[in-house]
Chains A and B, each alone.
Chain A
Amino acid sequence: MRHDEAIPVEVAAVEQVTPLVKQFTLRRVDGGPFPPFSGGCHVVVVMHGRGRTFRNPYSLLGSPRNVDCYQIAVRRHDAGRGGSRFMHDEVRVGTRLEVGHPVNLFPLAKLARKHVFVAGGVGITPILAMVDDLRSTSAPWELHYRVRGPEHDHFGRKLRDENGNRVHLYYGSHGQTLDLGRIVANQPLGTHIYTCGAEQMVAAVAQAAKAAGWTDSHVHCERFVAPPIGDPFDVHLARSGVTVHIPSERSLLEAIEAVGVDAPYLCRGGVCGQCETEVLELEGVLVHNDHWLSDEERAAAKKIMPCVSRARCTRLVLDR
């Protein structure tokens, strides 16, 4: 996305839907309709804070056919770069933000004979839109949704009210856990499984599916890695001729953008490959936090994904 193509929006509603999660309803400043989208899409939300700009990807949770507004849900993270804290503490009705065009890195498989969704916490958001898309098809589906406790299951109850016993809710506080072995067992041929939530849960689902003989083409994971914080370091951008300091709570990509260097990106979550950057010089180690580079590429340390990865080094020169 080019930064000048974001759509100006205004926050029309803010709802504390669970103790940790706020839902934001966004309308276009120009009053026009949003682009329609496909379930599983995310948008990059641009937030202008004091002295810094956040660009965070959030899944669109509303009906893809509703073009009057976009809805996202943000879980508060107290540690981290501060984007979610900004959304919770500084953004209210009337706040102006920008959103990029919807991008789908987590689409439904159109030829699936059955869809199984497994989600935890705020990972339910893309699935809300995907389930809405499935209304117009006859493919069977089921959802297994785990939350900390009943006070966190706003979205789960809504889905169960609308969809009955296709929706299975699990409360951690009641000792209910996902029996992944049972979920992946005895599913008919052509079933696809989609998982979104904490890294641990996503990895567990992938592992359970593999153990039950599912192949990669039928297992879909939404695993946005929020750019982890880390030690501060400096980077020299060879083409731009500028040296940038990367503080702990800012990602490499954000710091590059902050000095006006236009670096390509798409998902900002370490999964799509768009921001791949060549490492020209390195004295130290790269800290790879992405899900894009191969093991060999990580070991070779000639490439880095600046949206989520960092370095512990005395010298780093990138081809930007």
Chain B
Amino acid sequence: MLVTAIRSKPVYATLEPDLSGTFHLLVGQGSGGDALLRLLEKMPRGADAQVLYAAESRSGVDRSEPLSAFGAVQCRIFPSMAEVVACLDQVLSTCFMGTRLYVAGSESFIGSVGQVAARYNLTGDEAQSERCGSAARRVYCIHCKTSQENVTTNVVRCAGCERHLLVRDHYSRRLAAYMGVMADAASPGTLPPVEERLA
């Protein structure tokens, strides 16, 4: 059985203040809150910044309090990732050129935020993302076109069509998900060894 090594995976970095920007929009979820706090510490005093944060998290990490308590920065807390993403859409519709977007959280969260940002033609030099928390993936089944969250193994059963999917490293920003292809297409029933993905 073939498990091909592929290299079109997204690359993330540690969030750093981009002082060429004039307005800094920080968006995070769960353990991404720690990354946002670190970033806020590095921001110069008086920087025009706003925080949008969702406590919803697989790991249970909730940084709502320290973020709200961080002085001189407007902070809005939401109970769910879906709500923070919806709020981001509304905020971006009122933002001006000069805005910098900083995203911290799970890869799925980063992907969902990226889909909204793309609608505003926010390009790579206006945004940074730092992946926090687990290596869980959103996987898109190319056969039935459904996505499922929190996949931590290299093979997963599709929630939509029940096929066993090989989770590839090939990633689509448009779909904000990794590619899932039928794992036993060549020999039905013969699956590769299932492994936990650590990174």
Chain A interface residues toward B at CB < 8 A? 109, 111-113, 184-191, 209-210, 212-218
Within the assembled complex, what's the spacing in Å between the Cα atoms of A109 and B100? 20
- For the complex of A and B, the 4 pairs showing the least CB-CB separation, nearest first, are A213-B98, A190-B121, A213-B22, A215-B125
Interface string of B96-128 (1 = CB under 8 A from A): 111110000000000000000000111111100
CB distance from A53 to the nearest CB of B (A): 42
Interface string of B134-149 (1 = CB under 8 A from A): 0000000000000000
* Contacts A112-B121, A190-B122 known; 8 new A-B pairs at CB < 8 A: A185-B96, A188-B96, A189-B121, A190-B120, A190-B121, A212-B97, A212-B98, A218-B97
Within the assembled complex, what's the spacing in Å between the Cα atoms of A213 and B120? 16
Q: Please state if B20 and A215 are interface contacts (CB–CB under 8 Å).
A: yes
CB distance from A207 to the nearest CB of B (A): 12
Of the listed residues A184, A191, A214, A216, the one surrounded by the most CB atoms of chain B closer than 10 A to its CB is A214
Tell me the dominant secondary structure on chain A's binding face: loop
Q: Does B21 contact A (CB under 8 A)?
A: yes
Partner of B120, one of A189, A210, A216, A217: A189
Within the assembled complex, what's the spacing in Å between the Cα atoms of A245 and B124? 47
Residues of A within 8 A of B120 (CB): 113, 189-190
Identify the closest chain B residue to A113 (Cβ).
B121
- Interface size of B by CB at 8 A reads 18
Residues of B within 8 A of A218 (CB): 97, 123
Q: Does B82 contact A (CB under 8 A)?
A: no
Partner of B99, one of A109, A112, A184, A189: A189
Within the assembled complex, what's the spacing in Å between the Cα atoms of A214 and B126? 9
Q: Please state if B123 and A213 are interface contacts (CB–CB under 8 Å).
A: no
Tell me the dominant secondary structure on chain B's binding face: loop
Sample (9) of A-B pairs whose CB atoms are under 8 Å apart: A113-B120, A188-B96, A212-B97, A212-B98, A213-B97, A213-B98, A214-B98, A215-B126, A217-B126
Residues of A within 8 A of B23 (CB): 213
Q: Please state if A189 and B123 are interface contacts (CB–CB under 8 Å).
A: no
Q: Does B92 contact A (CB under 8 A)?
A: yes
Q: Please state if A189 and B20 are interface contacts (CB–CB under 8 Å).
A: no
Partner of A210, one of B20, B100, B124: B20
Of the listed residues A111, A187, A191, A215, the one surrounded by the most CB atoms of chain B closer than 10 A to its CB is A215
Q: Please state if B92 and A189 are interface contacts (CB–CB under 8 Å).
A: yes
Q: Does B95 contact A (CB under 8 A)?
A: yes
Within the assembled complex, what's the spacing in Å between the Cα atoms of A111 and B22? 23
Q: Please state if B97 and A216 are interface contacts (CB–CB under 8 Å).
A: no
CB distance from B110 to the nearest CB of A (A): 18
Within the assembled complex, what's the spacing in Å between the Cα atoms of A216 and B20? 11
Of the listed residues B21, B100, B121, B123, the one surrounded by the most CB atoms of chain A closer than 10 A to its CB is B121
CB distance from A247 to the nearest CB of B (A): 43
Identify the closest chain B residue to A218 (Cβ).
B97
Interface set, chain B 1-57, CB cutoff 8 A to A: 20-23
Q: Please state if B22 and A189 are interface contacts (CB–CB under 8 Å).
A: no
A216 in contact with B95 given A113-B120, A189-B120 (CB within 8 Å): no
Q: Please state if B96 and A215 are interface contacts (CB–CB under 8 Å).
A: no
Partner of B123, one of A113, A209, A215: A215
A186 in contact with B96 given A213-B20, A215-B20 (CB within 8 Å): yes
Q: Please state if A216 and B125 are interface contacts (CB–CB under 8 Å).
A: yes
Within the assembled complex, what's the spacing in Å between the Cα atoms of A65 and B1? 55
Residues of A within 8 A of B121 (CB): 109, 111-113, 189-190
Within the assembled complex, what's the spacing in Å between the Cα atoms of A218 and B122? 9
Q: Please state if B124 and A214 are interface contacts (CB–CB under 8 Å).
A: no
CB distance from B4 to the nearest CB of A (A): 32
Residues of B within 8 A of A190 (CB): 120-122
Within the assembled complex, what's the spacing in Å between the Cα atoms of A23 and B99? 41
Residues of B within 8 A of A187 (CB): 96-97
Within the assembled complex, what's the spacing in Å between the Cα atoms of A109 and B23? 23
Within the assembled complex, what's the spacing in Å between the Cα atoms of A191 and B95? 11
Within the assembled complex, what's the spacing in Å between the Cα atoms of A217 and B125? 7
Residues of A within 8 A of B97 (CB): 184, 187-189, 191, 209, 212-214, 218
Within the assembled complex, what's the spacing in Å between the Cα atoms of A273 and B20? 28
Within the assembled complex, what's the spacing in Å between the Cα atoms of A214 and B100? 10
Identify the closest chain B residue to A219 (Cβ).
B97
Residues of B within 8 A of A113 (CB): 120-121
